[in-house]
Amino acid sequence: MKFGVVVFPGSNCDRDMYDALKDDLNQDVTMLWHKDKDLSRFDTGDCIILPGGFSYGDYLRCGAIARFSPMMQSVIEFANAGGKVFGVCNGFQILCESHLLPGALLRNGNQQFVCKNVFITNDSGRAYKIPVAHGEGRYYANEKTLDELEANEQVIFYYCDEIGHITPDANPNGAIRNIAGICNSTRNVFGMMPHPERACSPELGNTDGQEIIRTLLMVEQLVY
């Protein structure tokens, strides 16, 4: 399996993701410049990653300009053909702006930038400790979309407390229904606000992110 990490002007987590994949997970990974279009070395068993940061300075809306970069046109085609695409933080915002994932990321409910460790969980019930760092991470969608996401098991992570309980107090940004990450209906496009790549190294005292990346991206299909 090969990985490509897209670099936009203003990306600041591209190298974190590259190092996590290459050094901590021993994967074949390449940096991809946003003005390029060529994804010919990747097939649908591979994965393109949109990293965190502040693409184009977050002007207009977070991810709104990056969505029109030449590389994103190829990424959209890649996703529509069944290739895996993973967006983290700003990457999640870009995926929503590109309509590869439903909903939007709004300004945090407390109107402040949030940078800290939080806990997230899925149907396994385990609480993963993963960092967040964002000012516009409050997931929002209309009630119909939210009901469909949950009915189809497309919510891949919820904010929770340290023992896995999904509570309002564990929600760092006011995300509706405590949603921290979602996938598309065909389960090949994934987005989340927390940063698993920042929790992959024993030197950082946390390797919970390794399991998240392996579970989402290194299996044939997301299974619950």
Could you say which of 89, 160, 183, 200 is catalytic? Answer: 89
**Is 89 assigned a catalytic role?**
yes
Which of the following is catalytic: 134, 136, 197, 200?
A: 197
Cβ atoms of residues 49 and 86 within 8 Å: yes
Q: Are 73 and 37 in contact (CB under 8 A)?
A: yes
Per annotation, catalytic residue among 96, 160, 195, 200: 195
99 annotated active-site: no
List the end-to-end C-alpha distance of the chain, in Å, as a whole number. Answer: 22
Tokens at residue 151, please?
């009915």
Residue labelled with tokens 């053909």: 81
Does the annotation mark 197 as catalytic? Answer: yes
Active-site positions? 89, 195, 197
